Amino acid sequence: MSDSSIRLDGEVTIYQAAALRESLMEQFALLPAIELDLSAVAEMDTAGLQLVLAAKAEALHANKPFRVSAISDSVRDLLALYAIPPEDIHLERVA
């Protein structure tokens, strides 16, 4: 994990999405690059996936490097449900 890494854990669902988005945007403003570590995510729903994709879009819009360093099985299952290859979220290694 690097200095620019943000680790999400537990549930990343519609119930946490608004608060997580606000927190992520605050952190993004301070970091030169964005790295999300999703290896400890126990549950993710569509809102959580939208949050990750919005983070990727925000980083690209701000010309900041973006990557996902690791994902949990629940994140992998959700990506498979939507037929999204892990590479599309810039996954660099498997948890």
What does the alpha-carbon distance between residue 59 and residue 34 come to, in Å, rounded to a whole number?
Answer: 7
Alpha helices in the chain (DSSP H): 14-30, 46-61, 73-81
What does the alpha-carbon distance between residue 84 and residue 43 come to, in Å, rounded to a whole number?
Answer: 17
The domains of the chain, with CATH numbers, are 5-89 (3.30.750.24)
7-65 pLDDT, tens digit per residue, is 999 999 999 999 999 999 898 889 999 899 999 999 999 999 999 999 999 988 999 99
pTM: 0.88
